[in-house]
Chain A
């Protein structure tokens, strides 16, 4: 009883090489369910996970920054880089340094007065963080700043809608 068909449909379960339609359908269903559950988990995490915290933090070296200069600091957590820009003697702005496109680090270009992303030529306005050109889909999240005496304090983050 040897031959091609017996090789394709062996008696021993361990020798089977073909995936049955039922196995394939089960794989599709289970994979879809796993992906759905993963998405639900991500959604639930983004809704419930992070309580809005307003953490006051002094930005070191702000007073020493020259006009047109910029400095990177971590806010609100270590590993969340933000960019502080001094636009005039009394005007400071700060934005998240992660490009809203693919999270490249953006920088302040003084000559064009834009916040630019080197990866895909996206650029943002240093006035309010809105997208000026390129692929970024959202404005840069802005750091709310307060001046208390000589110190510049970051007091929270806000995401402004575009336009």
Chain B
């Protein structure tokens, strides 16, 4: 769908896993789901977060790949690793600030969300956005998001000294310009 953007709103996620099931139906990676739905704090909350690839403008996963196996196409979509090149070193898994890439050990290849490029290039929505009942994952024109949501779509993230600009948007509280993540602070809290 020309002119549409991908908008992720974790506050709307109900943890139904419909996106996980639908993702596995995608033609380009049939049988393997590329979405993670995680509980934020399983002990105290039922809140869940869907994680799909943000398709960074300067993808960290591709920058750290020693085999030149991860490529970004003309539309800005960052693809799964190229099978003949991938050495399953997991550099991308460790480097991605969003925790997206997944190395399939059985086939020794990294696979990740590719925005269902076979569908989006043909004018269809990605599988996950098609089935999400609460539209926590939605693929619509930006004007529609501005008209129907209170939150602000944000595509700039700051991880310590690294600033990442992405093609996909995260819905943040109204007025937020960017999302800053203090990774070390999170790790410190996790230790306690």
Contact = CB atoms under 8 A, between A and B. Distances in A.
Contact of B73 (A9, A13, A22): A13
B68 to A, nearest CB: 4
A9 B68 contact: yes
Interface string A97-110: 00000000000000
Nearest to B69: A9
A11 B74 contact: no
Q: Which of A1, A6, A9, A12 has the most CB of B within 10 A?
A: A12
Contacts, number: 22
Given A11-B72, A12-B74, A13-B71, 19 more contacts: A1-B63, A1-B64, A6-B63, A9-B68, A11-B58, A11-B59, A11-B62, A11-B63, A11-B70, A11-B71, A12-B71, A12-B72, A12-B73, A13-B72, A13-B73, A13-B74, A14-B73, A14-B74, A22-B84
Interface string A1-20: 10000100101111000000
Interface in A95-145: none
Interface residues of B, number: 12
A12 B78 CA distance: 9
Ranked nearest first, the 5 interchain pairs of A and B with the lowest CB-CB distance are: A9-B68, A11-B62, A1-B63, A12-B72, A13-B71
A14 B72 CA distance: 9
Interface residues of A, number: 8
Interface of A: 1, 6, 9, 11-14, 22
A120 to B, nearest CB: 53
A22 B74 CA distance: 21
Contacts of B73: 12-14
Nearest to A11: B62
Interface in B43-87: 58-59, 62-64, 68, 70-74, 84
A1 B84 CA distance: 23
Contacts of A1: 63-64
6 contacts: A1-B64, A6-B63, A11-B59, A11-B63, A12-B71, A13-B73
Interface string B114-142: 00000000000000000000000000000
Contacts of B63: 1, 6, 11
A11 to B, nearest CB: 4
Contacts of A11: 58-59, 62-63, 70-72
